[in-house]
Structure formats: C-alpha cells, structure tokens
Amino acid sequence: MHFKTAARRAAMQVLAESERSDKPLAALLDATQLPPQARPFAREIASGTVRHRARADHALRPLLRKPLGKLDAPVRAALRLATYERIVLETPAHVVANEYAGAMRAAHLTSAVAFVNAVARRLPAGWLPSPDAADDAVAFLSTEYSHPAWLVERWLHRLGFDECAALCHSNNVVAPLCLRVNTRLATQGGVLNTLRERGLQAREGTLSPDAIVVERAGAPDEWPEWKAGHIIAQDEAAQLVGRFVALNAGALAAGAGALIEAGASVFTAVDACAAPGGKTTHLAQMMNDGGRVIACDLAAGRLKLVRDNARRLQLANVETRAGDFRELASALPPADLVLLDAPCLGTGTLRRRPDAKWRKTPAQLEELVALQRALLDAAATVLRPGGALVYATCSLEPEENEEQARAFVARHPGWRIVPPVEKWIFSGSAEMSEDTQNNTLRGEEREAAHSAHSLLTEEGFLQTMPHRDGCDGAFAARFVRAAD
C-alpha cells in the first residue's frame, strides 16, 4: 500500500473517532499504526481538514441530497478530507475519488463506495463564496474562517467585525514550534546556534527572553538539546504567565539563585492543575531548583508527564500530588505562592488544536466557570497571609477571565488584585550578570519587559491575543492575601 493511501485511511478513521472523543487529534493520530513516512501527510490532511471544516461543508452542500450530519461518521470524514485535498492541496479529482472510495471499501462500507466516488469527482477546484457578510455577518465569518457560529457570534459582539475576522484567521494559521530554554543548563544564544547549525529556521521569541521559535520543525523530542534537558515546548504566552507568577511575589526560593532575599522558611509554591508540567517546571527553573514546588493534578497518569519533564530538565525541587485540588487543598502545607492554571474552554489555543473548536459548547463554558470558581476558593485556603495567588487560563472568554477575577475579590474581602507595578523580573540563566542578579535588567530583558507590559490591561491583568501578539491567547490575574 502506498504511504499516502495508508495516511488517508488513518486520517479518515481518526476524524470519525474525534467526533465522539475528547482526545486531541494529534493523540489519536499517534495511536494509529502508521509507517513513519505516512505520518506527516496524515497530520497535514487531518489537521487541515478540521481547520477548514466549515468551508469544506459549504463546498459539499450543493453536491448532497441530505445533510452531512445524516451521513455515517467515516463517510462524512472521507468527503471532508477529499474536499480539503481537492481544493487546498490541488489533488486531482480522479485521485481523491479513487482513494476515498477505496477507503470506504477498506472500512467495509461498501454501500458508500459509489456515493463517495461520485461526490468526490464533482468537487469544485476552489472554495465556494461564503454567505454575504452584509446579510449575515455570523454566517459569513463562521463559513469563511471555519469556526462554530456560537463562538463567532460572541467574538463579533465583543470585538467587532474586523478584529473577529483577524482572530478567526489567526486560528487557521499553523502555529510554529515554540521552545523555552532551560536557563539553568543552557542559554538562549547557545541553543539558537546549535539549532541553526543543523539547518533549522530558528529565531528568538518576541515576548519571552527564554523563547525560541522554530518554523516547520516537526517533533523536537529526538533533538540532542531536548535529551540534554536544555529545552521544553511551551508557547510564549504560557512563558509569560510563568513570569507573571514571579512578579513581586516575594522570594522565589532560598539560595544563590534567588532574586529576592528569602525568609527563614522554605519557599513553597503550589501548582494546582499542573500537568503536563510546562508552568510547573518554569516555576522550578526560576526558583533555581531551590525551595519547593508541589504539582497537583486530578489525573495521576498525567502527573507522570510532570515528573518526566522535571527529571529531564534536571529540576529536583518538584514533587507531585494526585487528586481533585478541591479536596487536596486542605492537606497541603501553607504556601507562599499558588498558581491555578485552571481548566478552561481553551479558545486561546485553537491554532494549535483546531479540532477542539468543533467540540466546544456554551454548556461547557458554564460548567467550567463553576469549576474555576470552586478551584479558586480552594486555592485561597492554601495561601499563607501575605501570599500571592495567580489565576490563569488559555481562554479568551470574559466569564473565565476578568469576570472570574472580579468575582473572586468580591466574595473574598481580604484579597485584592495586585497588578505588577515595577518591572518584570527575569531569573537566572547561565550568562546572568552580577547586575542582573541585583535586579538590573539586561538590554534584551528590558526590551522584553517593555513588550510584556504592553500586554497588561488597565486592571493589571495579563491578556494575550493570537491575532495581536503572534502567540496563544492567555490570561492571568494576581491576587494578594492581606497579611494578618
């Protein structure tokens, strides 16, 4: 079997399965038995199809006698894949017809073979015009940019037509690989040099001083820098959340790596929803492997990812606790710092998980807002007097972000929102100068600090937007508990 044939059949299987599964498309693809040479093409057509699903459905509609939703899931997946290939990849009509008819036969859907063949041969060579924006802006935007109408309606109301269109467009652009340099073991410049020497298109990040962006990189887990613990995959927005956590929070850790003198007790940080460990390890890294980071997560299996990442990055100050944080909180030691990177709708990361947008619902948003509220209240019980709580999401929705933050202080009179009032504090790297250790920023750090400050709202919340900032969407708010 040709590797592209195998890739098409796997992509069809995975798209059909994704309609009834919460697992990411990438995870479903990884679980298939595909030869290595077939995987890139399977990823391309599967992710491309879900990115442009509404436009594909719009192109298919005139060719069908009944709605796509009435078809069997594998048939629906095959037609969408065929449409993406025909229009975007410009695969000849007879090729997509033969290939996806063959996929029906291989899936024992013999009654659909002739149907898929006939529809695929009549597919247009280009996208059909979307509905007229003047008549129905939601229908135009949701079709043109392939987003659920209910999300488009929300964003259109809040952002206006042009910005909503820009946001939807940015979600359809494949995000590059973004790395965070483990500054305890390596420098940004050193890692950049080794990547470029191997011919990779690598550049410095624009927002985080530890970030490296690599175009068309593939998976980095076989790179020597990865195996040596010098890098971890993390978007710049998530890296900024880690730095936001450290802002004015008092001592990060006792020891030579601390930027601010620690108190007598061991500095304790709690990451309430830690897996897979990107922010946990960033916190441990900024603490220069001192103090104590307690990483909690509901799924014990996912906490293994936290431990694996901490071990690979050579961070010895991370420990894990499995369980529902609402129940774990009462058994945790008093903390100086709590990070609640809360479960959320994830509308800021759709460019990385295009399949997720089709599974999100208004009901999920309501459920998540209630869960976030309960988690915030639990987190508040863990803090020592004078401690800091940072609440973060990868959402763009006000109910999960600024409205949730305002509601928290409204029901907790002893707490207040404390935005950063000084500079962003960048922690130790192998090339950190004595002046930097004394909280004097290097030139590139000062430039990044200026950029980061532009991402703060008037209330002092961190808010990034994919179409404005070239990174994922993220939100963070910092609360301080009054000292007794």
Q: Which of 429, 83, 99 is nearest to 257 (CA)?
A: 429
Q: Is 178 a catalytic residue?
A: no
Per-residue confidence (pLDDT) for residue 482, from 0 to 100: 74
Query: Which alpha helices (DSSP H) does 397-477 contain, by range?
Result: 402-411, 434-437, 443-453, 466-469
Q: Which of 340, 397, 392, 338 is nearest to 367 (CA)?
A: 397
Burial class, 232, CB count within 10 angstroms (exposed 0-12 / middle 13-18 / buried 19+): buried
Residue type present at position 339: L
Compute the C-alpha angle 154/160/161, nearest 5°. Answer: 100
Compute the C-alpha angle 6/10/13, nearest 5°. Answer: 145
Per-residue confidence (pLDDT) for residue 268, from 0 to 100: 92
Q: What DSSP state is assigned to residue 456?
A: B
Rounded CA gap, 37 and 35, in Å? Answer: 6
Tokens representing 483?
């000292």
242 contact partners, CB below 8 Å, separation of at least 6? 279, 282, 283, 286
Which pLDDT tens digits describe the chain residue by residue (484 residues)? Answer: 899 999 999 999 999 999 888 888 988 988 898 998 999 999 999 999 999 999 999 999 999 999 999 999 999 999 999 999 999 999 999 999 999 999 999 999 999 999 999 999 999 999 999 999 999 999 999 999 999 999 999 999 999 999 999 999 999 999 999 999 999 999 999 999 999 999 999 999 999 999 999 998 878 999 999 999 999 999 999 999 998 887 643 444 433 233 334 444 688 999 999 999 999 999 999 888 788 999 999 999 899 999 999 999 999 999 999 999 999 999 999 999 999 999 999 999 999 999 999 999 999 999 999 999 999 999 999 999 888 999 999 999 999 999 999 999 999 988 999 876 544 433 323 232 333 233 333 445 444 444 555 688 888 899 999 999 999 999 999 999 876 5
Q: What DSSP state is assigned to residue 66?
A: S
As assigned by CATH, the class of the 235-481 domain is alpha beta
Q: Among the CATH numbers 3.40.50.300, 3.30.2020.10, 3.40.50.880, 1.10.940.10, which is that of 3-121?
A: 1.10.940.10
Rounded CA gap, 103 and 86, in Å? Answer: 16
Residue type present at position 351: R
CB 360 within 8 A of CB 446: no
Q: Which of 238, 176, 251 is nearest to 208 (CA)?
A: 238
Rounded CA gap, 197 and 190, in Å? Answer: 11
Rounded CA gap, 268 and 126, in Å? Answer: 57
Rounded CA gap, 173 and 162, in Å? Answer: 17
Would you list the domain boundaries of the chain? 3-121, 137-171, 235-481
CB 19 within 8 A of CB 50: no
Cα distances from 304 to residues 221, 246, 270, 274, 405, in angstroms, run: 17, 25, 17, 11, 31
Q: Could you tell me whether strands 335-341 and 415-417 are parallel, antiparallel, or unpaired per DSSP bridges?
A: unpaired
Indicate which residue of 178, 344, 394, 471 is catalytic. 394
327 contact partners, CB below 8 Å, separation of at least 6? none
Tokens representing 15?
């798209």
Cα distances from 37 to residues 5, 7, 200, 301, 374, in angstroms, run: 12, 9, 20, 30, 46
| Distance, first Cα to last Cα, the chain | 71
Rounded CA gap, 170 and 349, in Å? Answer: 10
Q: pTM for this structure? A: 0.89
Q: Could you tell me whether strands 177-181 and 211-215 are parallel, antiparallel, or unpaired per DSSP bridges?
A: antiparallel
Torsion of CA 220, 223, 225, 226, to 10 degrees: 50
Per-residue confidence (pLDDT) for residue 288, from 0 to 100: 83
